[in-house]
Structure 1
Amino acid sequence: MTGTDVRDEAENSGPGGYAAARLRLLDEGARSGPPRRAALAGLTDDWLAGLFDAVAAETGAGRPPRGVSLVAVGGYGRGELSPRSDLDLLLLHDGGDPGAIAALADRLWYPVWDLGLALDHSVRTPAEARRTAGDDLKVQLGLLDARHLAGDVTLTAQLRTTVLADWRNQAARRLPELRELCAERAARQGELRYLLEPDLKEARGGLRDATALRAVAASWLADAPREGLADARRRLLDVRDALHLTTGRATDRLALQEQDQVATALDLLDADALLRQVYEAARVISYASDVTWREVGRVLRSRAVRPRLRAMLGGGKQAADRSPLAEGVVEQDGEVVLARTARPERDPVLPLRAAAAAAQAGLPLSLHAVRRLAAAAGPLPTPWPAEAREQLVTLLGSGRPTVDVWEALEAEGLISRLLPDWERVRCRPQRNAVHVWTVDRHLIETAVRASALTRRVGRPDLLLVAALLHDIGKGWPGDHSLTGETIARDVAGRIGFDRADAAVLAGLVRHHLLLVETATRRDLDDPATVRAVADAVGTQSTLELLHALTEADALATGPAAWSSWRGSLVAELVRRVSAVLAGDVPDDSETAAAPTAEHERLAVEAWRTGGPVLALRPQPEAPLGEPSGEPERLGVELLIAVPDQPGVLPSVAGLLAVHRLTVRTAELRALELPDGVDDGTVLLLNWRVAAEYGSLPQAARLRADLVRALDGSLDIAGRLAERDAAYPRRRGVVAPPPRVTVAPAASRHATVIEVRAQDAPGLLFRIGRALEDAKVRVRSAHVSTLGANAVDAFYVTGPAGDPLPEEEAASVARRLEEALRA
């Protein structure tokens, strides 16, 4: 059946025919995208027009009533009907018989409601519509897209003319309101192109912003960059259509559990391919918004509508001043533009020189300049000339302004031309709650963070380029560090670094996770740990660079990836590795680092009392209860000293879970008593904990419950089981299964078992109990929580204190994994 047949059937057979024709249209797999939206809008137009005429025929001798019209506004006015979209309708009238108008409205609205369609309706005279639009910006935006459906076409045309005239006359007042409205929405909803569950309509870069750009263009005050904008809008609408059909709901939020189905409906490879398309579209709309609002601000600040016309005609106003910034680059009217003498076709370094000058000045690159550079600039030779490499380093080292300048270059394809490998990471999602950015934006954020650390290193150029490239391997299959090493070496040679520098850059990319993973998952008191890092790093200068890159990478990842605690662990590891590289090689017989006075006090008290001793206190960097920032997120420090005995780890971990304390980080180690005290060993546990909700329990209560847990009178497992039964887990994305492995050659004194799992209440208790059941002794533990992921390492030995044989270690790891999967 053709689209015309469907519409004829709907028009001739009333609401039932419309519903059947609508359902048939939505079920047509071959028709989707703009054709289906247009067909759905046309089908609905014909049905509503027929309904209007039928009602008019009953009340007006078969003729449409004069002075009344039915108007589509908002998304329906634009013809953007998704399967579950609202119908935005205005019944416009000239102020005639109120009773007749009300009866007509009822006869129109009730059939829509009877079909279960969402309806946003109003009944107004032109004067009322104009007055309401003046008071409510959202109403005015909807009326800008008014489209006649039925009735008195002259009435609709007059309203459209009046609304558009008002919009243009009031643009100087209303556009700042619209900009503020967009900014408030962005603050609430976030950036669409970085969200794992984005709202396609409300998030920044979504459909609302695309509509706002149409409104700006209608004001005649400024216009958005049009290249790619219509296609970006179409892609978001296509995704929303598929989302509506997949879920059967009028939703704009692309939830994780629905992304695979939506991707399949759009014939995309997988959910990541879907998100990349969404992010690409959002990037285009966001960039167009930035450029457009900057132009609106410039025009409004100068009050330049009439003066600009006079200047164009040769009168009055002089041209704006042009201040030189670099060869071929000047500042004009708050933007960076090309000098009149610039010849990008003869100067392949000009794009990087202009970008570096803009970032250094903290100014945006003008749209015209970027487009001219993209169209005319020739390719750089291989290897790059020294100036090009220096300009890239200058751009990367300019701090926060680098982000906007880089995005301007990327919007016109210049970045992929300079760095072809960038194409694989552009808009690539990272399905990890720890990461707040896509891969490409994370790389730029890392360079921004690294720019603040350049005074700490002898080769800031290598630090900044390593920051740009450290995750470049994520665009390829396999271990991104290994893949990235090869790419980084190739890129380094292409942009003009010599072989020695290229090797350093490749090594930094290869080992960019080495310090933080070792510091948080390995025993720093084990000489094998320090030696392994020293062997991988090789030189003091590389260690210096790697330390700065580690911090920049973590800070650019998100708030869960870095803390003063992690920073102190990494710094301590760096200090020890630096000593080894300087020739101070530790002997295997050396003991662990000396305990602090506080640790010794707690250990002695625990030994003398024969029971646990607790100290619950704020972190040293901030007072307890600080309203925001890292201290609140990481909670408080909990120190526990217990005479060495079986079951300490599961007892303490289970107790914290029972008290609804979230473990952010944890360490366990054996502590020999100081001289002058009886021989003995005390287990020292250093935790960072935070209350899931409410306030922290008193230390005395924790100690009393811990005594009961250790002597077996407190049934931790039973209490946790009751809690799980009472509070079933919410439905959501199924987490990947836990993975337990044995780290080869990680220590000469113990076997290192690594656990990676979804964080959950009682997880550490289950791990500790499984290790106890396996009859192994936990010599030390290093626990960290990154977003929803737990990444833990346990140094275990047999009963005699020796590392486990290879087969036994594998068996313990296998049994632990089975226990966590159960």
Structure 2
Amino acid sequence: MNNLRIPNQRAILDRRKLVAQIAALGPDTGNAADVRPHVVEVLKVALEQGRAELERRLADKPSAGHEITGGYAFLVDQLVRVIHDHVTAQVYPAGNRSAGERLSIMAVGGYGRAEMAPHSDVDIAFITPTRKAPWCEQVIEAMLYLFWDLGLQVGHSSRSVDDTVRMAKEDLTIRTALLEGRYIWGDQQLYDEISRRFQSEVVHGSRQQFTTEKLAERDARHQRMGDSRYVVEPNVKDGKGGLRDLHTLYWIGKYTHGVKSAAELVDVGLFTRAEYRSFRRAERFMLAVRSHLHTITGRAEDRLTFDLQRQVAEAMNFADRPGKSAVERFMQFYFLQARRVGSLTGVFLAHIEDEFAAAKQRRGILAAFDPKPRDLQGYKVLAGRISAPSDDWFRQDPVRLVEIFQLAEEHALEIHPATMRQADRDSGLILKDVQEDERANALFLKLLTGRNNPESVLRWMNEAGVFGRFVPDFGKVNAQMQFDMYHHYTVDEHTIRAIGLLSRIERGELEDDHPRATREIHRVASRRAAYVAVLLHDIAKGRGGDHSELGAEVAHELCPRFGLDAGETALVSWLVKQHLLMSHTAFKRDLTDPATIENYVGEVQSMERLRQLAILTAVDIRAVGPGVWNSWKGQLLGELFDASQERLRLGHKRHGRAQKVTAKRDAVRASLGDKVAVLETHKAEFPDAYFIAEPEDIIALNIVQYDAARRLDHELSVHCEYYEARGATLVTVIAADHPGLFFRIAGGIHLAGANIIDARIHTTRSGFAVDNFLIQDPHGRPFREAAQLERIKRSIADALASRVELIPKLAARPLTHSRSKAFDVQPRVIIDNDASGRFTVIEVNARDRAALLNRLARALFEAGLMVHSAHITHYGERAVDVFYVTDLTNGKVTAPDKLQAIETALVECASDEWQEEMENA
């Protein structure tokens, strides 16, 4: 791809020396088979020494991507030449070869570009004049066997010139591979012939077709890889913004303009010199990352998984900084390069598109017609694109760098890539005077709260570098990843997606998933505050300290600048500070406990805050990544919203405890229909706390199951069914209550491959446990199939009958997330006696694993505590398990020594050391 000079080539492989070593092994003819093992050994030593030299160079110059990948291509080049000469001179010498017995060896694909990572495939095309060439076939076969003996992964083809040209016309992959063909050795005239015919017979007349097919191929690849350049485990080669996107630009440039190297893209006007330099920087960095991935793993690994990110960051000499770890700094730099690739792609393809359009117009019946752009506040608008009227447009008034994006959003226009290039070039004009300019801020706020598509336009603004310049605090989180398995995107991409979700909710497009947010967005006092809160909720990540607290301070500074009044500023600052409050309350607390609602309402204090926080919480969770939002989370947040709304509107709870129990029983009675007698039979056995804690539909199911279990005198009754309202599976276990029942049931459920997300534990006055569990599979989906439900029942029965040894079997199960060991998750226990009026609330944060809930529940049992409800939340590799407990006298746990002992026991059993001990037991 580029004529890169590899320094000190002979230190990698000295071909003359290697040829001499092979020649010394035996005479030219007569005993090639006897000599062959010795030849292979000499070649292996040369290959291993060459690789060792390149690994040393990579360690010394960890960012020298071009030099290292070029070095590996040089190493293979020399081996191919030596092997070819050995085979043609010593294995199959031919004194008088015919005109058809000629062979040319061509490197294709990445090898053709002279860009090879340590374990890249060696892609070779053997070219012959005709199909039937026995001597050529013998030579090719002998060479391939030597390649394979060396352990090289060879992708090869053997074709005549005619066949190669014909197949290139028919197959895009072959055409692309040949496009990067590079002569290595053999018959030079044969290589020249195929190069000439490829240009005249394949490329000529098919430039637009090739471009269209290549872009369609790129789009399909992006779709497979997640269609975002900001996924937190990117594929360096095939992911969006990765090496393959750079290759696509080069392929199209070479095919349409005949360039021989990327540098020539400047000469033909597809890149400016500055853009070419950034092209090379991005390519150099990504080639280096790919080389490190191959070196660390010892295989052709192109995905930057969490466990490898730390190692590559260390190998490339990234260091920790205050508030940001080395791996986060490395990944931020990676995403900045990926973003640069995206902006280069836009500029490049716009040029190609304009060239094709101009050529088509010159040939068409409208050749004399020159469409005139319309004027929009001084800008030119043509074919749905807005563009700057002159090269110095932004220099004349830098506020226009914000204005053009606002106009694009308001009028549903795209920005012409040439103008995007101008904006990128001139973004440095946005200094303090522009940041504080009243008109500029009014335009920005109008864009942010736009009614069409603020998400896409803000993303363009970000990729042009204007967003981060105008809002420097946003620039600090640009391309910043969060090193965990919960967040799927970088902070800036997550924020822009959340703004887009808010816009879609306001337009009513997500009503099925977010009915309350869709309703309440039209009731808030300030929609401007809603959008600004979403923009700023994660603005202070990566600074060290609590990003919510720090973000609230940023909001106090930025909101007045954007034009928000004092009331809106106070509201946004509060929302940023408390943006996790609603989700933490809904997912980690018992919503049937009156203290939960009282504490939450005490913090929220007003309907405006309640509405705004509910909307912010919904878009924040959903923008984390695909599948993070589900109906279970929606249900919990809805219950918290409804209970808080009632409390705020009335100033008190609508019903007292006795009234609630009566109302619940009446509702259950109505739902039971002809089975209503079972409620009258057994209602006295269930305490009031049961009727308050459980929803009426579950009570109806429990009562019917309880009645059947008692009539049939079953010692154990397990009922499982898909519970659509919660997006989970309901498992109800009825059995004679005894100490340790909960942790044994939990163990049985986990052994069946399920995760418990919520649990309520009840004991009837006659001594029976009625325990309700909501479960999902490890991917957050419910169990529905009959065989799955039967497996859960059987597993619970086996655990309660002690037919399985729970601890070793659970410890042997793999981690819920196989790569979670890449993260440092220190167990943390919080014990709170103020969160509930009746219970001590214990929260355990730890690495997620199959045995965790069972082990924690067992530790609580051994500590003499009774679990009344459990609430389990997962954040990627981290689990948060919350228990509402009492001591054996049904009172709170208050003794300091007892609390310390509980904390110590829970930390111990939540630690990685305990897991390792159990696995090795």
Fold shared by both chains (TM-score > 0.5):
yes
2:331 is the counterpart of 1:275: yes
What is the TM-score of this pair, normalised by structure 1? 0.86
After TM superposition, the structure 1 = structure 2 runs for residues 601-680 of structure 1, keeping only pairs within 5 Å, are 601-602=700-701, 604=703, 616-621=720-725, 634-639=727-732, 646-663=739-756, 665-668=757-760, 670=762
Query: 8 Å contact 1:345–1:378 — kept in the other structure?
Result: no
Amino acid at match of 1:204: K
- Equivalence for 1:777: 866
8 Å CA contact 1:192–1:206 kept in 2: the answer is: no
Task: Tell me the SS of whatever aligns to 2:874.
Answer: strand
SS at match of 1:802: coil
Structure 1 equivalent of residue 35 of structure 2: none
Contact persistence 1:335–1:363 (CA under 8 A) = yes
Q: 1:288 aligns with which of 337, 341, 344?
A: 344
User: What residue is the counterpart of 1:628 in the other structure?
Assistant: none
Q: What's 1:501 paired with?
A: 568
The change in CA–CA distance for 1:168 and 1:358 in structure 2 (over 3 A counts) is farther
Q: Match for residue 555 of structure 2?
A: 488
Counterpart in the other structure of 2:313: 263
Deviates more, 1:89-98 or 1:201-210: 89-98
Deviations along 1:577-603, whole A, 9 cap, x unmatched?
334444614599857774444344455
1:320 aligned residue (371, 377, 383): 371
Aligned to 2:476: 424
Name the structure 1 match of 2:445.
Answer: 393
SS at match of 2:414: coil
Higher mean alpha-carbon deviation, 522-531 vs 342-351, is at: 342-351
The secondary structure found in structure 2 opposite 1:506 is: helix
Q: Report the Cα distance in structure 2 between the residues aligned to 1:108 and 1:136, rounded to whole angstroms.
A: 27
Give the corresponding residue for 2:246.
210
**220-229 or 141-150: bigger deviation:** 220-229
Q: SS of the counterpart of 2:60? A: coil
1:467 aligned residue = 534
The match for 2:383 is 333
**Does the CA-based 8 Å contact 1:739-1:757 persist in structure 2?**
yes
Checking the alignment, whether the CA contact within 8 Å between 2:124 and 2:155 is kept in structure 1 is yes
For residue 715 of structure 1, the aligned residue among 802, 808, 813 is 802
The correspondence for 2:141, drawn from 106, 111, 117, is 106
SS at match of 1:617: strand
The match for 2:60 is: 30
Return the match for 2:294 from 244, 261, 271.
244
1:380–1:331 CA distance, 2 compared to 1 (3 A): farther
| 8 A Cα contact 1:64 1:152, kept in partner | no
In structure 2, list runs of 5 or more residues that go unmatched. 1-5, 20-41, 258-268, 320-325, 507-520, 665-690, 915-921
**CA distance 1:729–1:480, change in 2 (3 Å):** closer
Shift of 1:512: 0.5
Give SS of 2:844's match: strand
In structure 2, distance between residues paired with 1:708 and 1:107: 62
Query: What is the CA RMSD across the aligned residues, in angstroms?
Result: 3.8
1:254 paired to 2:310: no
Once residues 364 and 16 of structure 2 are traced to their aligned partners in structure 1, the CA distance between those partners, rounded to angstroms, is: 55
Asked whether 1:574 is paired with 2:661, we answer no
Residue 810 of structure 2 is aligned to residue 810 of structure 1: no
In the alignment, is residue 145 of structure 1 matched against residue 180 of structure 2? yes
C-alpha distance 789-64 of structure 1, shift in aligned 2 (>3 A) = farther
Q: 1:351 to 1:170 in 2, by over 3 A?
A: same
CA-to-aligned-CA distance 1:80-125 (integer Å, 9 cap, x gap):
1222222222222323971222233235434333322222222223
Change (3 A) 1:788 1:183: same
Larger deviation, residues 228-237 vs 545-554: 228-237
Q: Does 1:747 align with 2:747?
A: no
Q: 2:852 aligns with which of 759, 763, 768?
A: 763
How many residue pairs get aligned? The number is 796
Secondary structure of 1:443's aligned partner? helix
User: Distance in 2 between the 1:684 and 1:52 partners?
Assistant: 75
- CA spacing shift, 1:129–1:514, aligned 2, 3 Å: same
Select 1:445's aligned residue among 473, 487, 497.
Answer: 497
* Alpha-carbon distance between aligned partners in 2 of 1:481 and 1:765, rounded to the nearest angstrom: 33
What's the TM-score, normalizing by structure 2? 0.78
Report what 1:627 is aligned to: none
Structure 2 letter corresponding to 1:10 = R
Cα offset, 1:655, TM superposition: 3.1
Distance in 1, Cα, partners of 2:455 & 2:318: 30
**In the TM superposition, what whole-angstrom CA distance separates every residue of 1:770-807 from its partner, at most 9, and x where no partner exists?**
21211112233222334444322111122233221152
Identical pairs, percent:
25
Question: What secondary structure, in the 3-state scheme, does the structure 1 residue paired with 2:14 have?
Answer: helix
Partners of 1:607 and 1:249 in 2: CA distance: 58
Amino acid at match of 2:185: A
What one-letter code is carried by the residue in structure 1 that aligns with 2:401? P
Aligned 8 A contact 1:640 1:684 in 2: yes
Give ranges in structure 1 of 5+ residues lacking alignment: 622-630
- Determine if contact 1:471/1:481 at 8 Å carries over to the other structure: yes
Alignment of 1:122-271 (within 5 A): 122-165=157-200, 166-191=202-227, 193-220=229-256, 223=270, 226=276, 228-269=278-319, 270-271=326-327
Q: Using a 3 Å threshold, how does the CA distance of structure 1 residues 759 and 493 change in structure 2: closer, same or farther?
A: same
Q: Which residue pairs with 1:625 in the alignment?
A: none
Q: Which amino acid aligns with 2:887?
A: G
Question: Partner letter of residue 468 of structure 1?
Answer: L
Query: Which letter does structure 2 place at the counterpart of 1:781?
Result: A
Q: CA deviation at 1:169?
A: 1.8
**Structure 1 counterpart of 2:723, one-letter code:** Q
Give the conservation status (yes or no) of the 8 Å contact 2:830–2:844: yes
**Distance (Å, rounded) in 1 between the aligned partners of 2:810 and 2:889:** 37
From the superposition, tell whether residues 729 and 384 of structure 1 become closer, same or farther in structure 2 (CA, over 3 Å): closer
In 2, Cα distance between equivalents of 1:698 and 1:203: 36
SS of aligned partner of 1:474: coil
Structure 2 letter corresponding to 1:769:
R
> How far apart are the structure 2 equivalents of 1:47 and 1:703?
63
**TM-superposed deviation, 1:546:** 0.9
Q: AA paired with 2:238?
A: E
2:607 is matched by which residue type in structure 1? Q
Return 408-417 or 714-723, whichever deviates more.
714-723
How far apart are the structure 2 equivalents of 1:202 and 1:406?
26
Q: State the SS of the aligned residue for 1:13.
A: helix
Secondary structure of the equivalent of 1:194? Answer: coil
* Shift in CA distance, 701/115, structure 1 to aligned 2, threshold 3 Å: closer
Residue pair 1:515, 1:547 contacting (<8 A) in 2 also = yes
Q: Residue 92 of structure 1: which of 102, 127, 136 is its match?
A: 127
Cα displacement (A) at 1:471: 1.1
The 1:162–1:538 alpha-carbon spacing in structure 2 relative to 1, beyond 3 Å, is farther
Q: Which 10-residue stretch deviates more, 686-695 or 651-660? A: 686-695
Residue 676 of structure 2 corresponds to which residue in structure 1?
A: none
Task: State yes or no: 1:799 paired with 2:898.
Answer: no
The structural deviation recorded for 1:766 is 2.3
Partner of 1:349: 399
- Native 8 Å contact 2:552 2:577 kept in 1: yes
Question: Mean Cα displacement is larger for which, 333-342 or 749-758?
Answer: 333-342
1:670-709, aligned counterparts within 5 Å? Answer: 670=762, 683=770, 685-690=772-777, 695-696=785-786
Distance 1:666 1:490, change over 3 A: same
